[in-house]
């Protein structure tokens, strides 16, 4: 039928015209008195009585409240989470990084010499100013020592300050992303609920099995 395409196009336009808007005014949005009171969890009268200055601003629609979009647990944040006691200094992460922005300097550590000796790490720098968050370094880490982080509001005025050094990696909050870490998803771990994974034995795929698990796997399972 002639004109059918036109009606179809208009239908799509109308559908989108009445759809709710999903634009989020990040990092904060303007609110009126009702919105400000709702955010504070009190009635508008109480809000005005407790904060006359803020109440007045809200009445004039110039008050703001912080607005954050809920991130998914697999979000790849740019602060990285590093578990030093898992890291052997093998530098696989640095070799896999397609941009070559991980710098690792080590020396023979004299640790676990009988087992093959671990390196002591002198330098571990990641230039997140150039990082594209592909996560290949995390995939390459054989010991689950390196995870993507969960933070993102880390803007800076100086590019050199975007290089994360070993001290920052050590002190970063242990809130890893669950990206490429199915063990976190199995536990329903969510860094955006303020959870941390400080215990390195609970951070990796290669957890030491308990004696019961060993018995079940190697004794009971073979009967
Ligand atoms: S996420 Fe990708 S670009 Fe960033 S450091 Fe890791 S491998 Fe390199
Ligand atoms: S973070 Fe992983 S891949 Fe990188 S040096 Fe340490 S153990 Fe090796």
Please state the domain extents for the chain: 24-69, 77-202
Read off the pLDDT of residues 136-185 as tens digits, 9 standing for 90 and up. Answer: 999 999 988 999 999 888 888 999 999 999 999 999 989 999 999 888 88
Cα gap 194→162, rounded to integer Å: 24
Tell me the CB-side half-sphere exposure of residue 11, using CA atoms within 13 A. 6
φ, ψ at 38 (rounded to 5°): -60, -40
User: Which CATH number fits the domain 77-202, given the four candidates 3.90.226.10, 3.30.70.3270, 1.10.630.10, 3.30.450.40?
Assistant: 3.30.70.3270
The alpha carbon of 138 and the centre of ligand 2 are apart by a number of angstroms equal to 8
Nearest C-alpha neighbor of 192 from the set 135, 149, 148, 150: 150
- The residues lining ligand 1, judged by C-beta closer than 6 Å to any ligand atom, are 96-97, 99, 101-102, 126, 131-137
Query: Whole-prediction pTM value?
Result: 0.76
Helix (H) or strand (E) holding 64: strand 63-66
Centre of ligand 1 from the C-alpha of residue 97, in Å: 5
């Amino acid at each position: 039928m002639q004109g059918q395409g036109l009606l179809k196009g208009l239908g799509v336009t109308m559908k989108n015209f009445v759809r709710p808007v999903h634009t989020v005014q990040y990092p904060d949005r303007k609110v009126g008195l009702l919105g400000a009171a709702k955010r504070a969890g009190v009635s508008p009268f109480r809000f005005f009585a407790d904060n006359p200055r803020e109440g007045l601003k809200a009445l004039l629609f110039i008050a703001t409240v912080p607005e954050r979009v809920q991130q998914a647990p697999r979000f790849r944040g740019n602060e990285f989470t590093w578990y030093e006691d898992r890291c052997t200094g093998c530098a696989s992460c640095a070799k896999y990084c397609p941009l070559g922005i991980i710098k690792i300097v080590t020396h023979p550590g004299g640790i676990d010499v009988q087992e093959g000796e671990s390196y002591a790490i002198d330098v571990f720098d990641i230039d997140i100013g150039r990082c594209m968050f592909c996560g290949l370094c995390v995939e390459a880490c054989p010991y689950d020592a390196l995870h993507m982080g969960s933070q993102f509001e880390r803007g800076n005025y100086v590019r050199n300050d975007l290089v994360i050094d070993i001290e920052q990696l050590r002190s970063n909050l242990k809130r890893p992303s669950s990206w490429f870490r199915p063990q976190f998803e199995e536990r329903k771990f969510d860094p955006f609920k303020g959870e941390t994974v400080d215990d390195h034995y609970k951070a990796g795929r290669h957890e030491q099995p308990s004696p019961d698990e060993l018995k079940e796997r190697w004794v009971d399972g073979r009967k």
